[in-house]
Amino acid sequence: MRIKKLSNSWLFIILYLSILLIFPISILINRAGHEFFNSFVERATDEVALSAYFVTFSMAGLACILNTIFGFLIAWVLVRYKFPGKKLLDIAIDLPFALPTSVAGFTLVNIYSDKGIIGSYLSQLNIQVIFTRLGIVVAMVFVSFPFIIRTLQPALETLEREYEQAAWVLGASPWKTFYSIVLPILLPSFLTGFTLSFSRAIGEYGSIVIISSNFPLKDLIASVFIFQCLEQYDYIGATIIGTVMLFISLILLIIINFFQRWSQQI
């Protein structure tokens, strides 16, 4: 009876995943396959497409590195310290989850434009954020930073402070304590948060299409490029670029997942 229930559960899971993931991906690959011998390689390796891949993944990687550094600091402060406004800050971290991405883009433009609160000071230093790749990084950081914080918080809460205190008693410096004690314990959480943040960043569209100039070979990302193809009724091009993005993202996530499992065995 238990085996039957287990089989039914697995059948439901497989059916759900098929409807949600496998069928759409199969259709995408199938449509791209029809054009493989004609234009797949040519379109997938087009100069504009290659630039879009590079901008997307390089900016997402940079955004996730920044998220990892500052996200860890914020998570550490939220877990280890008490201060006025702590609960408000903790709630505000989840704001990107609820805020429409188009609204996020409009907000970032108002903040980082030449007349914005921050942009006015940056312009005096000849630093332009709006309509540049830096704007893409800012948008990706904004929409994806909650993932690293929310992943690290539970790990920090369960981290025994006795390990750190023992290291200090033995004469270890704060940096040595972090590198030898804290980092190995938190490494799986770091990689999990990085993966979630990276996945969110490369799929962002709504805020980037507003804050970026979206010019080919300059700051055009893959998701906006796909939408531009659809606007021009170039369904073949959109399908090909989408398929390439699918496989590149899958390969990168597999690599990150491999390092995550490796870190758990250390």
Q: Give the DSSP H or E segment for 41.
A: helix 41-44
What's the pLDDT at 33?
58
Contacts 24+ apart (CB under 8 A), 100-104: 100/206, 101/143, 101/204, 101/205, 101/206, 101/207, 102/206, 102/207, 102/210, 104/139, 104/142, 104/143, 104/206, 104/207
Which residues, 6 or more positions from 193, have their beta carbon under 8 angstroms from its beta carbon?
67, 68, 71, 147, 148, 149, 150, 151, 152
What's the pLDDT at 64?
94
Cβ atoms of residues 145 and 183 within 8 Å:
no
Reported confidence tier of residue 8, pLDDT bands at 50, 70, 90: low
Given a cut of 90, whether residue 208 has pLDDT beyond it is: yes
Given a cut of 60, whether residue 153 has pLDDT beyond it is: yes
Say whether pTM exceeds 0.85. no
| pLDDT tens digits, one per residue of 16-66 | 656 666 666 666 666 655 555 567 788 888 999 999 999 999 999 999 999
What's the pLDDT at 1?
47
